Amino acid sequence: MFKYPGLRESAAGRASEAGHRCSVRNIEKLEVKPLLRIASVIDAINERVGRAVYWLVLVTVLVSAGNAVSRKVFDLSSNSLLEIQWYLFAAIFLLGAGYTLKRNEHVRIDVLAGRFSPRTQAWIDILGGLLFLLPMTSVVLYYSWPYFVTSIVSQESSSNPGGLIVWPAKALIVIGFGLLFLQGVAETIKRINVLAQPVEKGR
């Protein structure tokens, strides 16, 4: 009976390689699980903040309407009321950014990406997060933090008569982009989890 050591070694090599891939995948799952808990905490934070921002929309409408009525009917107005409106608009935009990312409601072009498999889409999101979103938010945080600290130390105020202090508005930049950065981390973790799942046959 003839023996084929090369064939046997090849089969053993494939079995070893398959076993290695399985072990690596199991390790990936073990590593992703604690990261998913971190992602769920970030999701919960942005979910709460986002729901609170809903009420800021109502407050903004009431303040804007009250300011318009007092100015048109009673000929009364103040710079502080106008600046409150600006602060509220800024709070809605900045504090809601992370929540919007969590809900996947940001404007995006899916003409091509929508045709790809979930794993390919996960790769696109991971690369987009690591190469664009996280670096961009990091740069904004890096430069906005001293901007905020200087404002709060000096108790910077608006240059308009009767205007408000400025540092709360600058704090919104730090908080808003901080929440967006955290949500970017959470979304990246969730996409990594998609890649860590076993590939189904036919995909």
155 vs 167: CA distance, rounded Å: 7
Alpha carbon distances (Å) from 158 to 163, 166, 187: 5, 6, 37
Q: What is the mean pLDDT of the chain?
A: 81
Six-digit token string for 133: 């979103």
**pLDDT tens column, 142-158:** 999 999 999 999 988 88
Tell me what pLDDT residue 120 has.
Answer: 86
Six-digit token string for 143: 């430069």
128 vs 121: CA distance, rounded Å: 10
Residue 38's nearest CA partner among 137, 177, 183, 176 is 183
**Locate tokens 């070893």: which residue?**
16
Spans of all domains in the chain: 13-196
- Helix (H, G, I), strand (E, B), or coil: what is residue 74? coil
**pLDDT tens column, 76-111:** 777 788 888 889 999 999 999 999 999 988 776 666
Band (24; pLDDT cuts 50, 70, 90)? very low
Tell me what pLDDT residue 30 has.
Answer: 47
